[in-house]
């Protein structure tokens, strides 16, 4: 497929109809109404070997972040100088409840996504997401859309080779189902179930009261129901109202009889998720419970930008993984700096002044739209406490012609650059891994000149990879 061989207007209409018919949708501003999610008409070409390189990294990164999250001394010493109030609050919850809870409930579930951009033939890591790794269904649906378009307008005989099958939503659900099973089998849960004569468990998906991505989330729910695992969607304030925590056992209960086996957070990653102490109280209740958390507060802290910066140091990596694995990972990292050593800060500021276009300033935030670029970097550092940020060398990805299909309006042809996400699932009790695997991919493409990259926040469109030899 290329721009010279297709009728863009006709193909865009066919693609848009297919997308709506298959749930490539985002919530509209009005409740219970939806709009088509933005996507690229043609898949993004990428060298096959480069793409396979980042797939291979997934289990290694899972292992690394699990070990980091279980090292309380390392977590605290790395993050205690970060002055971001949100991170400080999470760290306080971890110190008070999380360390002990890891001992009481050693199973940790990670649904992760590691994001990369291709610089030359080498992928470079943008960030590692440990909470609310979204678009598991929408990335699958856009992959299927591109496979449909390729089969219809080009050829059907080599689709699987060029456009890989992509089913992260199915495997996200499978990992949650495994966590539900692990919860049922562990003590004291098994004893409590026998005493209460109940085997009813429920998975809670924590969602925002103003959710804009519910279709993507719903398909996780639907897959779980297919395999007999009940899931309910609750906000943090709903949990405070509808769930209770049994003090002696630390088992969380929903309703009259159902024991909460897994809490899967698709909210809770931003200060806006906690408008009052009610929401913070619910998060503490989750952390104190024996439910398998996805993520624990420890996992969320391990996914901060400050921790990413710390893990770009070879000697730090070697505390958790082998020297060979550390050497391999270092090739995917950009240089990063923090502002915690006041003696080094003048030299970092001088470097920023000399290379404004070559660096990006990152706060401890998720969800897109938070970073600072170019002329906005130094004013933000002067206005805020620099220790709340990390600085990262900017990735310089190649560009390609892209047909953007925005939420509304006609197709737009423009130069685009893409970010590739690799989904992975991990479930472990710290001794034995029940699940550690690559489960799918996501591609997001934005116009050249647009710095941020979120789809729900309006900066990018969904895409899929076209693998080239």
Domain boundaries, the chain: 8-334+395-468
List the pLDDT tens digit at each of the 469 positions of the chain: 666 778 999 999 999 999 999 999 998 766 678 999 999 999 999 999 999 999 999 999 999 999 999 999 999 999 999 989 999 999 999 999 999 999 999 999 999 999 999 999 999 999 999 999 999 999 999 999 999 999 998 877 789 899 999 999 999 999 999 999 999 988 788 788 877 777 789 999 999 998 989 999 999 999 999 999 999 999 999 999 999 998 888 999 998 889 999 999 999 999 999 999 999 999 999 999 999 999 999 999 999 999 999 999 999 999 999 999 999 999 999 999 999 998 999 999 999 999 999 999 999 988 777 899 999 999 999 999 999 999 999 999 989 999 999 987 889 999 999 999 999 999 999 999 999 999 999 999 999 988 766 786 667 999 999 999 9
Predicted local distance difference test score (pLDDT) of residue 2: 65
> With helix as H, strand as E and coil as C, how does the chain read?
CCCCCCCHHHHHHHHHHHHHHCCCEEECCCCCCEEECCEECCCEEEEHHHHHHHHHHHHHHHHHHHHHHCCHHHHHHHHCCCCCHHHHHHHHHHHHHHHHHHHHCCCEEEEEEEEEEEECCEEEEEEEECCCCCCHHHHHHHHHHHHHHHHHHCCCCCHHHHCCCCCHHHHHHHHHHHHHHHHHHCCCHHHHHHHHCCCCEEEEEECCCCCCCHHHHHHHHHHHHHCCCCEEEECHHHHHHHEEECCCCCCEEECCCEEEEEEEECCCCCHHHCCCHHHHHHHHHHHHCCCEEECCHHHHHHCCHHHHHHCCCHHHHCCCCCHHHHHHHHCCCCCEEECCCCCCHHHHHHHHHHCHHHEEEEECCCCCCCCEEHHHHHHHHHHCCHHHEEEEECCCCCCEEEEEECCCCCCEEEEEEEEEEEEEEEEECCCCEEEEEEEEEEEEEEECCCCCCCCCCCCCEEECEEEEC
Predicted local distance difference test score (pLDDT) of residue 446: 94
Predicted local distance difference test score (pLDDT) of residue 36: 94
């Amino acid at each position: 497929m290329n721009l010279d061989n297709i009728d863009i207007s006709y193909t865009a209409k066919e693609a848009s109809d297919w997308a709506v018919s298959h749930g490539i949708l985002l919530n509209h501003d009005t409740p219970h109404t939806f709009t088509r999610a933005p996507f690229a008409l043609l898949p993004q070409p990428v060298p096959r070997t480069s793409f396979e390189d980042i797939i291979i990294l997934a289990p290694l990164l899972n292992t690394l972040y699990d070990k980091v999250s279980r090292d309380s001394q390392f977590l605290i010493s790395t993050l205690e100088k970060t002055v971001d109030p949100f991170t400080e609050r999470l760290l306080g919850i971890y110190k008070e409840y999380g360390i002990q809870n890891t001992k009481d409930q050693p199973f940790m579930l990670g649904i992760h996504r590691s994001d990369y951009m291709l610089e030359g033939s080498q992928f470079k890591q943008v960030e590692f997401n440990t909470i609310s790794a979204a678009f598991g269904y929408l990335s699958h649906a856009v992959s299927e859309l591109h496979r449909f378009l390729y089969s219809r307008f080009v050829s059907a005989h080599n689709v699987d080779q060029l456009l890989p099958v992509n089913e992260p939503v199915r495997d996200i659900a499978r990992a949650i189902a495994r966590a539900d099973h692990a919860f049922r089998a562990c003590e004291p849960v098994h004893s409590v179930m026998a005493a209460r004569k109940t085997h009813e468990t429920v998975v809670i998906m924590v969602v925002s009261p103003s959710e804009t991505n519910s279709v993507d989330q719903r398909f996780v729910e639907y897959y779980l129901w297919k395999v007999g695992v009940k899931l309910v969607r609750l906000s943090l304030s709903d949990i405070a109202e509808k769930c209770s925590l049994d003090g002696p056992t630390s088992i969380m209960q929903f309703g009259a009889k159902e024991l909460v086996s897994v809490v899967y957070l698709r909210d809770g990653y931003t200060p806006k998720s906690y408008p009052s102490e009610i929401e913070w109280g619910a998060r503490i209740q989750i952390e104190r419970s024996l439910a398998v958390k996805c993520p624990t507060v420890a996992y969320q802290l391990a996914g901060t930008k400050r921790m990413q910066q710390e893990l770009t140091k070879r000697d730090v990596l070697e505390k958790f993984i082998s020297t060979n694995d550390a050497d391999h990972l270092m090739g995917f990292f950009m240089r990063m700096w923090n502002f915690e050593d006041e003696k080094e800060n003048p030299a970092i500021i001088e470097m920023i002044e000399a290379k404004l276009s070559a660096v990006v300033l990152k706060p401890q935030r998720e969800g897109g739209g938070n970073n600072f670029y170019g002329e906005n970097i130094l004013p933000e550092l002067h206005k805020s406490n620099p220790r709340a940020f990390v600085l990262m060398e900017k990735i310089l990805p190649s560009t390609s012609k892209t047909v953007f299909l925005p939420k509304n309006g006609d197709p737009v042809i423009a130069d685009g650059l893409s970010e590739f996400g690799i989904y992975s699932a991990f479930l472990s009790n710290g001794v034995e891994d029940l699940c550690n695997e690559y489960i799918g991919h996501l591609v997001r493409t934005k116009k050249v000149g647009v710095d941020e990259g979120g789809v729900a926040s309006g900066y990018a469109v969904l895409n899929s990879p076209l693998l080239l030899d």
